[in-house]
């Protein structure tokens, strides 16, 4: 089975599109497209809202409500939305399927983005916020120059978990006739072509991990070193800690050896 | 000058934090607000830069009503130092210090070079400039906090328990340096503390507030200790206020006796009386009990209990030198720390009594 899967993936014919079949490259592009639209929309909705709730301390109930949305069964909502929306576009464009898919993905991505942005701002130490206002920053300056940069580590972790989830779930676009890497999974299942199905799964996982790696790099160069603890001195301290731990280990091994 | 004109803060639930406060903080001086928890001292301070808006009354900054301009503009003209420093963790030390100049639109290069000067001024190595707050100790962070408050050279500074979160030794050091800095800068400072000793040490004038936010007494520290207006102030300034008041009385020339000495490494002298040990430059090191030492005088034989009084210091220091000395003879040194002689507690008491009206 592993060999078959490997064979399926390395078959150049599967990567190029033909008149009859969409290849891996094009499905990958479609998959990235669905995911990107959902993530951009979710970021535009979730980030400002989360920052605002954290900054003002108002409407915190919204965070709870948004988190409750996570409990919705994705496929169920998708089917429901398709049933309601698709007939309005029947036979003209695929918008009747695209819109429900994007709604479902946005619903999935907003909660981690919003609640992490909120938590990030909330976690700014009161003394820091107090000093920011006391220095004469306006509310907006406090948000932009102090709260946002300090919230960045949490904002990134929220966005990264949203990204993973959206890329993994975007496979359901194929469930409602659209393309994307999910195509191989659903087609493979229907045709009992398991190498194709497994390849689809592997491609989704590979895409998700690569994007996460990319975001980790962006995070590394965006978040202040003062927050990440990647400091010359702190590094030395940690290494000393590791040394003492290994020293203890060596002692233990030595005493075991003696026994 | 900062003037509280019937400044009042009432909360919607009816609590009165500050009640018709009338107080003036003179230009170029340190005015300390002190009192028990809930006396409204921090609230009063924060009303000056409108971190808390007064419910009624006015606070004047020279001839300007503080309510007459937007709060953020007012705050940029007032230095502000808080308890845990509140440095911005994501910014380097130099950028933390340059915060207010950046807000005022000063160019990056100019703001940073000014920040570097200030770091040196508050006693921080310029090597700290590129570090982040997480890499600094509490005391160092607080120095940065003071530098940041001074960055735009505001005539007025508000300090809210700035030294209370650091350990006693560092606190003492920070207080001394703060006084030195104020000697150079002459800012108009309002300083809040719950520690009466800190208030007495730092204040040109000390305002004691009582719970409910009313002023009990405002006076120079020596007067506060010698003439508290009522039992509340008397109780708050503490039981050993007579002794502490001596800290404001200069001793004048202390009458000293010659004190026989021994040096480290020399043979232990004969006799039963404690002998003062000095180093090569006549600086006292400690006392030696000849009965318990043998051979030569070693560091480990020394009794180091005694404090030293400096000629020209205060009566409190002189008396303390006597009381803390293992031999009961107080050691007096000159400003370079060299031995001048010794005196007894009896002699210090005579000096105190000769002083007709101990302040």
Q: What is the pLDDT of residues B301-316, one digit of tens each?
A: 888 888 888 888 888 8
A contacts of B75 (beta carbons < 8 Å): 133-136
Same domain for A154 and A112: yes
Q: State pLDDT tens for residues B263-282.
A: 888 888 887 788 898 888 88
| Residue A256 vs residues A95, A244, A245, A247, A252: alpha-carbon distances, Å | 69, 18, 17, 14, 6
Q: What percent of chain B has pLDDT over 90?
A: 57
Asked if B138 and B165 touch (Cβ cutoff 8 Å), the reply is yes
Secondary structure (DSSP) of B40-82: SHHHHHHHHTTSS--SEEEEEETTEEGGGS-HHHHHHTEEEE-
Total domains, chain A: 2
Chain A nearest C-alpha distance from B280 (Å)? 41
Same domain for A24 and A127: yes
A contacts of B51 (beta carbons < 8 Å): 130, 133-134
Q: What integer pLDDT is reported at residue A233 of this predicted model? A: 52
Instruction: Using the predicted structure, report yes or no on whether residue B10 has a pLDDT greater than 80.
Output: yes
Q: State pLDDT tens for residues B243-260.
A: 888 888 887 788 888 888
| Residues A5-13, mean pLDDT to the nearest whole number | 85
Same domain for A235 and A222: no
Question: B103 in contact with A at a CB cutoff of 8 Å?
Answer: yes
Chain B nearest C-alpha distance from A240 (Å)? 16
Same domain for A238 and A167: no
Instruction: Using the predicted structure, report yes or no on whether residue A74 has a pLDDT greater than 80.
Output: yes
Find the CB nearest A233 among B74, B135, B145. Answer: B135
Contact A134 B80 (CB under 8 A): yes
Of the candidates B290, B282, B283, the one whose C-alpha atom is nearest the C-alpha of residue B327 is B290
Same domain for A172 and A243: no
- Domain B261-354 fold is CBS-domain (3.10.580)
Same domain for A250 and A136: no
Same domain for A250 and A192: no
| Residues B181-207, mean pLDDT to the nearest whole number | 94
Same domain for A116 and A239: no
Q: State pLDDT tens for residues B222-236.
A: 899 888 999 999 988
Q: What integer pLDDT is reported at residue B356 of this predicted model? A: 53
3-state SS, one letter per residue, for chain A: CHHHHHHHHHCHHHHCCCCCCCCHHHHHHHHHHHHHHHHHHHHHHHHHHHHHHHHHCCCCHHHHHHHHHCCCCHHHHHHHHHHHHHHHHCCCCCHHHHHHHHHHHHHHHHHHHHHHHHHHHHCCCHHHHHHHHHCCCCHHHHHHHHHHHHHHHHHHHHHHHHHHHHHHHHHHHHHHCCCCCHHHHHHHHHCCCHHHHHHHHHHHHHHHHHHHHHHHHHHHHHCCHHHHCCCHHHHHHHHHHHHHHHHHHHHHHHHHHHC
Instruction: Using the predicted structure, report yes or no on whether residue A244 has a pLDDT greater than 70.
Output: no
For testing contact with chain B, the best of A121, A132, A135 (most B CBs within 10 A): A135
Same domain for A68 and A39: yes
Asked if A21 and A165 touch (Cβ cutoff 8 Å), the reply is no
Same domain for A63 and A127: yes
Q: What integer pLDDT is reported at residue A232 of this predicted model? A: 62
The Cα B93–Cα B96 span in angstroms is 5
Contact B85 A233 (CB under 8 A): no
Instruction: Using the predicted structure, report yes or no on whether residue B295 has a pLDDT greater than 70.
Output: yes
Find the CB nearest A226 among B72, B82, B133. Answer: B133
Q: What integer pLDDT is reported at residue B265 of this predicted model? A: 81
Of the candidates B179, B147, B177, B173, the one whose C-alpha atom is nearest the C-alpha of residue B81 is B147
Domain, as residue range, for A246: 231-259
Same domain for A72 and A32: yes
What's the CATH number where A207 sits?
1.10.3720.10
Instruction: Using the predicted structure, report yes or no on whether residue B358 has a pLDDT greater than 50.
Output: no
Same domain for A258 and A209: no
Instruction: Write out the residue limits of the CATH 3.40.50.300 domain(s) in chain B.
Output: 2-248
Instruction: Using the predicted structure, report yes or no on whether residue A247 has a pLDDT greater than 70.
Output: no
Secondary structure (DSSP) of B229-292: SSHHHHHHH-TTHHHHHGGGSB--S---B---EEETTSBPPSSSS-EEEE-TTS-EEEEE-TTT
User: Is domain B2-248 in CATH 3.30.70.100, yes or no?
Assistant: no
Q: State pLDDT tens for residues B135-176.
A: 999 999 999 999 999 999 999 999 999 998 888 888 999 999
Q: What percent of chain B has pLDDT over 70?
A: 99
Return phi, psi of residue B125, to 5°. Answer: -60, 130
| Residues A211-235, mean pLDDT to the nearest whole number | 84
ipTM score here?
A: 0.80
Q: What integer best gives the mean pLDDT of chain A? A: 86
Q: What integer best gives the mean pLDDT of chain B? A: 90
Lowest mean pLDDT among A56-70, A73-87, A230-244, B109-123: A230-244
Instruction: Using the predicted structure, report yes or no on whether residue A86 has a pLDDT greater than 60.
Output: yes
Find the CB nearest A226 among B83, B89, B100. Answer: B89
A contacts of B82 (beta carbons < 8 Å): 127, 130-131, 134
């Amino acid at each position: 089975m592993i060999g078959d899967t490997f064979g399926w993936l390395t078959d150049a014919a599967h990567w190029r599109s033909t008149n009859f079949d969409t290849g891996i490259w094009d499905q990958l592009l479609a998959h990235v497209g669905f995911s990107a639209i959902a993530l951009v929309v979710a970021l535009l909705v979730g980030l400002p809202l989360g920052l605002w709730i954290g900054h003002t301390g108002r409407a915190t109930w919204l965070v709870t409500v948004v988190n409750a949305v996570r409990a919705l069964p994705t496929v169920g909502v998708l089917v429901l939305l398709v049933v309601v929306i698709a007939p309005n576009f029947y036979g003209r464009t695929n918008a009747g399927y695209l819109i429900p898919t994007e709604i479902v993905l946005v619903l999935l991505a907003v909660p981690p983005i919003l609640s992490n942005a909120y938590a990030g701002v909330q976690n700014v130490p009161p003394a820091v916020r107090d000093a920011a206002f006391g220095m004469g920053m306006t509310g907006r300056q406090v948000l932009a120059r102090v709260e946002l940069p300090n919230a960045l580590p949490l904002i990134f972790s929220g966005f990264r978990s949203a990204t993973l989830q959206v890329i993994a779930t975007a496979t359901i676009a194929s469930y409602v006739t659209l393309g994307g890497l999910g195509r191989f999974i659903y087609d493979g299942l229907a045709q009992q072509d398991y190498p194709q199905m497994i390849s689809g799964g592997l491609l989704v996982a590979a895409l998700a991990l690569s994007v996460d790696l990319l975001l980790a790099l962006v995070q590394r160069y965006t978040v202040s070193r003062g927050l990440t603890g990647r400091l010359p001195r702190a590094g030395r301290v940690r290494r000393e800690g590791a040394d003492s731990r290994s020293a203890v280990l060596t002692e233990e091994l030595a005493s075991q050896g003696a026994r | 000058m900062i003037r509280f004109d019937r400044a009042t803060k009432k909360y919607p639930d009816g609590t009165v934090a500050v009640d018709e406060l009338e107080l003036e903080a003179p230009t170029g001086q340190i005015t300390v607000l002190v009192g028990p928890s809930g006396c409204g001292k921090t609230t009063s301070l924060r009303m000056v830069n409108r971190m808390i808006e007064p419910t009624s009354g006015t606070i004047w900054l020279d001839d300007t009503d503080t309510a007459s301009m937007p709060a953020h503009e007012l705050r940029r003209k007032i230095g502000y130092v808080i308890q845990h420093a509140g440095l911005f963790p994501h910014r380097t030390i130099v950028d933390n210090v340059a915060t207010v100049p950046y807000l005022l639109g000063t160019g990056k290069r100019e703001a940073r070079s000014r920040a570097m000067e200030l770091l040196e001024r508050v006693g921080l190595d310029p090597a700290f400039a590129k570090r982040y707050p997480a890499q600094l100790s509490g005391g160092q962070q607080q120095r940065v906090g003071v530098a940041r408050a001074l960055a735009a050279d505001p005539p007025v500074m508000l300090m809210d328990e700035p030294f209370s979160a650091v350990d006693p030794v560092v606190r003492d050091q920070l207080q001394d340096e703060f006084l030195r800095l104020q000697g150079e800068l002459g800012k108009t400072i309002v300083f809040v503390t719950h520690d009466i000793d800190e208030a007495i040490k730092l204040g040109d004038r000390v305002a004691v507030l009582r719970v409910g936010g009313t002023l009990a007494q405002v006076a120079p520290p020596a007067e506060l200790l010698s003439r508290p207006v009522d039992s509340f102030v008397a109780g708050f300034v503490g039981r050993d206020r007579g002794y502490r008041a001596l800290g404001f009385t200069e001793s004048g020339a202390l009458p000293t006796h010659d004190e026989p000495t021994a040096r480290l490494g020399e043979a232990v002298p004969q006799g039963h009386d404690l002998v003062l040990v000095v180093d090569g430059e006549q600086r006292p090191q400690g006392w030696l009990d000849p009965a318990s030492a043998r051979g030569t005088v070693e560091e480990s034989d020394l009794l180091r209990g005694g404090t030293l009084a400096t000629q020209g210091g205060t009566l409190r220091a002189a008396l303390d030198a006597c009381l803390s000395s293992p031999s009961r003879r107080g050691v007096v040194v000159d400003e370079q720390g060299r031995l001048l002689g010794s005196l007894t507690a009896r002699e210090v008491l005579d000096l105190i009594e000769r002083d007709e009206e101990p302040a």
